[in-house]
Amino acid sequence: MLKMMDFKTKSIYYYKKTTDDEEKVLIDPNKLSEDGTVSLGSFSISDDGRYLGYTISRGGSDWREIFVKDIESGKLLDDHIQWVKFSGISWFKNGFFYTRFDTPKEGDELKGENKNPKVYYHQLGDEVVNDAVIFDDPAHPDRISTCSVTDDHQYLVLYQTESTSGNALYIKDLTTESAEIVKVVDDFEHDHRILDHSDGVFLLSTNYGAPKERIVKFSLKGLNKDEWVDLIPEQKDVLSGISIVGNKIITTYMTDAHDLVKVFNINGEYLYNVDLPTIGSVDGFVGEKDDEECYFSFNSFVYPSAIYKYNVVKNTTELFWKPEIDIDFDLYETKQVFFESKDGTKVPMFIVYKKGLELDGNNPTMLYGYGGFNISLTPSFSVSRMVLLENGGVYAMVNLRGGGEYGKEWHQAGTKLQKQNVFDDCIAAAEYLIDKKYTSADKLSLMGGSNGGLLVGAVTNQRPDLFEVSIPAVGVMDMLRYHKFTIGRFWATDYGTSEDSKEMFDYLYGYSPVHNVKEGVDYPAIMVMTADHDDRVVPAHSFKYIAALQDKYKGDHPVIIRIERKAGHGAGKPTSKMIEEAADLYSFIFYHLGVEPMYK
């Protein structure tokens, strides 16, 4: 359970041994640093419930440090591991498995390429230099290896990736010390994730032979992918979440970019759907394999995240907790529309606004998009977004190609030499909002972050006439050199690189935001947003883009950059920084869209 004590703090994690026990503090992220710039990453509790392993990030960096705490006494152990990135903490016996990189050269910590990580086992109390190397692949230094342990503690599962999609899969028997690592999949064409192991049978989710995902079963005696047996075959909707609780398989499917939950028995037979409050998004279904009850969260655009208790045997849902927010959400409504993109593809978009909205073209509007890396945008709540809605604004979230809303084919339709489809979808979304009189060009703002920052930069360059305001946040702006920094090379499966071929070079150069700022163009008001410790998309991208704009644009609109200090790609910010950022964001948008705030 999380609790926030005031607006300057981060949420505190509490725990109970049973639902009737008194809650106790598990970890308080506010005590990690005085200024709030050290944030809590992931955490994992040992199987005996004695120890808490957790990671921290300093200044928003992707680099993590692992610490271990005795839960009952609150004492911090001496175990401390640095240069960890993209790793969990997988407990086994009196220690855990994790992934660590070599110590980077001085000065390269936030910009150098991250290569050749290894999977280690750390025994509690041992020096880090004595950690055993479990998996190393020096012949392929560009690959990243991560791991997990099956719930029955019989197998170590190793995943290896060389991009943001597709992974190899290996398994090691932990019951035999001399056991070799067994290859299950050694290519990177598809995504695979081990869900469970029982009596020699593994359950696996995969998009091999199923672009929208399926669940299969196999044994180590039958590793040929074509011999995998369907447990839950591919459905018409995208399989996006799986939990095994109470000997049932709880699946989350994405249907037109919102969630639907189906329950199957362990043999793959459909049982029933889980009732949800409205169109929205679910997360969790956290529980043990033999539990009858588990917990999940649900939220939507005007439905703050609430926690529900679900009985998997009775198929009953009970509200466990919801936040108290002084907003009348009944005043707002959400509509989903479908429009045609440039090539005739049907694209979905959610539109949120106050009931009674007049379609007169005069409504201040924010269009938000992402369109990449198989990442799906589904309905979610944001308290800062309510500032826009309360002031009569419209929020539109478009589900662009390149995302994962309709499976692998939808994703691939927005990658590499088809990346322009993503920009065309976004342009068509803006034109739809204007044509249907939700807004007009002088009342429309465009926003996106990371890959969405690239989207904003490219679309603003291509169609500056459609927007009054553009907000590219932590964006990938230099498409010719993005792969030269930190983990940028992992994005090549979506973008391609300038070194692949002349055709790919020319294509990237044709839309790269940094290289397509033109003189004599009337650009909208632009606020580029970045952070000095962003080692995911290094701030040099934003610096180059704003430099190009300020050099070539001579119009009346401001083109400025906002640089957050001691912050990274977005995660782990203290509440005070998030409030300051939201205040600057909406002040900039409101001023240029002519919104007079209802509160001062």
Catalytic residues: 450, 569
Tokens found for residue 588: 């900039």
| Cβ count within 10 A of residue 519 | 8
Name which of 171, 172, 173, 215 is nearest 191 in CA terms: 215
Tokens found for residue 366: 């924010």
C-alpha 13 chain-centroid distance: 21
DSSP-assigned states of every residue in 442-472: GGEEEEEETHHHHHHHHHHHH-GGG-SEEEE
Are 281 and 260 in contact, with CB atoms under 8 Å apart? no
Tokens found for residue 399: 């589900």
3-state helix, strand, coil in the chain (%, to 5): 20, 35, 45
Tokens found for residue 339: 């429009």
Tokens found for residue 25: 């503090």
444-449 and 365-368 as β-strands: parallel, antiparallel, unpaired?
parallel
Residue owning tokens 């290519």: 187
What is the number of alpha carbons within 13 Å of residue 598 lying toward its C-beta? 8
Name which of 197, 190, 189, 191 is nearest 171 in CA terms: 197
The separation between the first and the last C-alpha atoms of the chain, rounded to the nearest angstrom, is 34
**What CA–CA distance (Å, rounded) separates 179 from 455?**
48
